[in-house]
Structure formats: structure tokens, C-alpha cells
Amino acid sequence: MEISERRERGDRLLQEMLGAEAAEQIRATWRRLSPDFEHYVVEFLAGEIWARPGLDRKTKSLVTIAVLTALGRPHALELNIRMALRNGASEREILETLLHIAPYAGFPACWEGLTTASRVFAERRSDIPKEDISERGSS
């Protein structure tokens, strides 16, 4: 597959998983930080990894949440919780994923994940304009 095809596919997936406006905001942040980083995320992470068959997006999202929580990556975790909700994961499924990893990743990691999820859920329910995710999120 050509690089341009992977990039187009990655761009489309990010828009589907975040919404067009949020996808552009986060991509602008990545470009500001490093144009190469934005290129790698869109082309490889979204265009190759997330586009692979075999697992549906909801499952990929829950796995990603578990790993990012275990690794202590709060910016990426918040972004991926938002994506998981758009990918069909329920709040309950996200919370259960976080609780499930507590004995494996540690209770402090679980606590951080639950705190992040709680904030995302509250923002989502309140319809208060969200802080600019471009300042907080990365993949």
C-alpha cells in the first residue's frame, strides 16, 4: 500500500474516532510539536495499526486504555477514552477495563485511570465546552 493511501486511511480513521474538529485539533498539536510525529501517528498508528482487521475498534480501544493506564500515559489515555466512547465502548466497559488491570498494573495506575475516565465522562455529560484537547491529548 502506498504511503498516501495509508495517510488518507489514517486521517479518515482519526476523524471517525474523534470527530472532524477534534481530529484536526490534535493533529495541529502534533504538527506543532513535530511534523514527523504527526506523520507517524496518522500514517502508521492510525493508517496501519488501527486499520488492521481482526479486532473491532471497541476492543482495540479497551486494550489501548488498559495499556496506556498501565504505562502511566495520561495525555494519550484521555484521548483514547474519548475515542473509545465514539468507538462504541460504554462508560461501564471502560471502568471495568480499568478495574480489571488493577492487580496487574497496580492500584495507583488504576486510580489514575479511573480519575481520568471520571473527568472525561463528566465533561461528556455536562456539555460544557471541553478544554482544548490539543493541549492535553496525544496518541
- pLDDT score for 135: 46
Tens digit of pLDDT for each residue in 31-87? 999 999 999 999 999 999 999 999 999 999 999 999 999 999 999 999 999 999 999
CATH 1.20.1290.10 spans which residues of the chain? 55-129
What contacts 24+ positions apart, CB below 8 Å, involve 21-25? 22/82, 22/133, 25/132, 25/133, 25/134
Taking the model in full, what pTM does it have? 0.85
Q: Please state which of the four CATH numbers 1.20.1290.10, 1.10.275.10, 3.10.20.30, 3.90.1010.10 is assigned to the domain occupying 55-129.
A: 1.20.1290.10
Tell me how far apart the alpha carbons of residues 104 and 138 are, in angstroms, rounded to a whole number: 24
Tens digit of pLDDT for each residue in 96-123? 999 999 999 999 999 999 999 999 999 9
Tell me how far apart the alpha carbons of residues 92 and 22 are, in angstroms, rounded to a whole number: 24
